[in-house]
C-alpha cells in the first residue's frame, strides 16, 4: 500500500503524511487520497494525499 499511495499522490499532497508513509506503512494504516477525475483517469500523480492515519491501541 505504501508504494501505491506514494505513486498516486501528486501536487498538493500532505508532505508530512507522505514522509510518514515512506518511513513505515503499518498494517492498520489508512491513507486518504482525493481524486477529481473519473476512475478511468486515475494514475500516477493524479491524486491528492489528504492524510495518513494510524490508529493507536
For residue range 19-51, what is the model confidence (pLDDT) as tens digits? 999 999 999 999 999 999 999 999 999 999 999
**pLDDT of the residue at 51:** 97
Element spanning 2, H or E: helix 2-8
- Grouping H, G, I as helix, E, B as strand and the rest as coil, residue 57 is coil
Higher pLDDT among residues 13 and 55, named by residue: 13
Alpha-carbon distance of 52 to 57, in angstroms, equals 16
Residues β-bridged to residue 57: none
**pLDDT of the residue at 57:** 63
Amino acid at each position: 500500500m505504501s508504494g501505491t499511495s506514494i505513486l498516486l499522490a501528486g501536487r498538493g499532497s500532505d508532505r508530512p503524511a507522505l514522509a510518514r508513509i515512506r518511513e513505515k506503512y503499518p498494517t492498520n494504516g489508512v491513507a486518504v487520497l482525493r481524486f477529481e477525475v473519473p476512475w478511468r483517469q486515475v494514475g500516477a500523480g493524479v491524486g491528492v494525499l489528504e492524510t495518513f492515519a494510524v490508529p493507536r491501541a
